[in-house]
Structure 1
Amino acid sequence: MENFQGPFDLLLGLISKHKLDITEVSLHKVTDDFIAHIRAHGRDWDLDQASHFLLVAATLLDLKAARLLPSGEVDDEEDLALLEARDLLFARLLQYRAYKEVGKFLTARMAEASRRFPRLVPMEPRFANLLPEVLIGLGPDQFARLAAKVFAPKAPPGVNVEHMYQPKASVREQAEIVVARLRALRRATFEQLTDDAEGTFEIVARFLALLELYRERAVAFEQDEPLSVLTVTWTGADDGEIEVGDDYEGSREPQAGPSGETEEGTDD
């Protein structure tokens, strides 16, 4: 107990000394050791340490009583609070022991590193001269060609996106697919409604179709929490056509611009 710093350090030291489980600690031995610790300091003993020890000793007594008495349902709020305090003490003791072991490990590593010293002098000349001379097998003409190639103007970089082309998806067409599937399944997740979609455009189109169907009160949405699974339930008629607005439909064919050039129509 030479490195006494607080009640938890003292408690862990005493328990480790007796090599017993915390619920098997003999309270009178712990008390005798603490009294011996106080007497060893003479008149310099700390009142705060004694007060903290009394708190820990009372907690230990409560722990032992809880273990020795028959367990059963606890209805008293004060008893529940004592049990919570017991569990909290267990957790803090385990946490403190882990911190203490990590501190010992770091102390050992720091002591080991303190015996190492970096090299502060440069390499000795007799070793530096052992390196062979650098020989470049290029002549003036070859260097000139390399310089001309490096300093020649370069074409501005471009990104070819032809391979990324994908036809636009029709919200109305995707709405027909969604309606047919919901009428058959009655209830489905958004993932099930888009598992056969060919690309991002069709997924977005089916999502917009669901919004239109919700506006027409043909579907209902369920989601337990934000960003969780979205479940769609069919609440519309089992037959007939469902009108989906063309607000999202743009021109599917190129249109002639003012200068005679063609340009793609865009979705609103």
Structure 2
Amino acid sequence: MIAVTDPDEQTSSVEQTSADEQITAQTETEDRADKGFSVRLTNFEGPFDLLLQLISKHKLDITEVALSQVTDEFIAHIKAAGDQWDLEQTSQFIVVAATLLDLKAARLLPSGEIDDPEDLALLEARDLLFARLLQYRAFKQLAAAFAERLQAQSRRVGRTAGLDPEFTRLLPEITIAVTPERFARIAARAMTPKEADVLSLAHLHAPEVSVREQALVVVDRLRSRGSLTFRELTDDSPDKLTTVCRFLALLELFREQAAVFEQPEPLADLMIRWTGTEGQQLTISDEFDVPPDQNDNQNQQNAEQDSGSGASEGVSDTTDGTHD
């Protein structure tokens, strides 16, 4: 049987085919404009930057690359971009194309000794341009790596979580409450009229506070009351130096086993309890009351006395041996 085809159907199919081809060509042109300039030659097809990389690594012969065809394709690429063409990309193409043209000219020209200074200057300029181009490519790759790293890190969020329950229970409860008695003392101290401002010389000659004297105060209070908190022992201290001396006196009492320290819970008040006897003789060291220079002189004198006594003993022994 012979199939009969309607002429109108043939015309419509031809028009549809040509329309599809136009759409496909337009799509390819837009894709090329969006993705950047690519080269399509007989021996190479790919991005323009890759062409320069292959030539620089001697994987592709520059003499086999048709630079005129590359230029024509780039002009077509610029026309396809329309008003959206990129000035930076165009500048890059000019630099790369000039470098390729210089490389190809150097390969095609006969090699030999170059005596003309202008030719030497051109070759130096070519080498410098090629080095700058490779440097630009290295920075471009590094910037792309940084951009990829920043994009990956932007999707990460740090984990914020509290302590685990088993560790939270180990922390002591912080008590900032002030008792009425403590608040009354603070208020009385704050409302006490202050003395007129005078030029103080306390920073020049700090008053000396004796640890022995403060130890007598601490012992008297502990013997009369049995136990006190460290806050109660230092409430009437006129300055920080007196408070420090009373603390050192407590350490001396602890060393003499005349007082013990108790703290029922963390961050609570330190309780001092008297454990000495009524007639116990306490020995409080004077190492904190003697100035450092006097203490050193005293130690030196003691050492000299010890050495002198040893020498006299040796002399007496020798004398005894002579009489014998």
TM-score class, shorter = 0.3 to 0.5
Scaled by the length of structure 2, what TM-score is found?
0.34
Greater C-alpha radius of gyration:
2
Q: Which has the higher helix share?
A: 2
